[in-house]
Amino acid sequence: MTETSAQASKPFLYVVVCAAGVASGISKLITAAEERDWEVGVIATPLALGFFDTDAVGTQTGRPIRSAWRRPGDPRPFPAPDAVLVAPATFNTVNKWSAGIADTLALGTLCEAHGLGVPIAVLPCVGDALAAHPAYRASLERLRGMGVRFADPYAGDVQQGDVRPEFGWERGLELLGAR
């Protein structure tokens, strides 16, 4: 039987994962979300499937990672979302989402989320050179205008000592606000 949001005991969070290097740390976000009593379902872009341990994350959430559309007639594998968090968000996905392109499950989910009226937060992971592209700036403006909540830019530049700054996974949960 298909589980609905009303049947799930906890509010259901969709975590949309894009193909950025930091996606390898996605389990940290899931741990933090589960500690805050979210039930989590992960939706990955097709390319993102190669960026993190899908078996481990599937075990952690207790649900398969979704990336492809279900077949017509198949039940919905996840309940409807109570909130959506895109982490990490790539240049590519932000621009396609803003333009209303829905050619992957991840993008279709994001395009639809606005109309569902649920809170949406984004942890972008976009290098400075890409972020300077006018299309990206226009995408941020458009999505912000739709009520999407963005964390501060994260370029992931290597700092002194060959280390990268921590990716602020928990910031995404803070942006979704108190439930």
Looking at the chain, how many residues does it have? 179
Crossing angle for the helix pair 91-98 and 105-116, nearest 10 degrees? 50
User: CA 54 to CA 49: how far, in whole Å?
Assistant: 7
Q: Return d(Cα 162, Cα 40) in angstroms, integer.
A: 33
Binding flag, residue 176, ligand FMN (CB under 6 A): no
Per CB under 6 A, the list member of 15, 20, 33, 118 interacting with ligand FMN is 20
**Cβ nearer to ligand FMN, comparing 48 with 173:** 48
**Of the candidate residues 18, 87, 143, 175, the single one contacting ligand FMN (CB under 6 A):** 18
Q: Return d(Cα 72, Cα 69) in angstroms, integer.
A: 9
| Stretch of residues binding ligand FMN (CB under 6 A), selected from 12-20, 56-64, 76-84, 138-146 | 12-20
Footprint of ligand FMN on 79-138 (CB under 6 A): 90-93, 125-126, 130
Q: Contact between 47 and ligand FMN (CB under 6 A)?
A: yes
Q: What is the Cα–Cα distance from 122 to 87, expressed in whole angstroms?
A: 6
Footprint of ligand FMN (CB under 6 A):
18-21, 45, 47-48, 90-93, 125-126, 130, 156
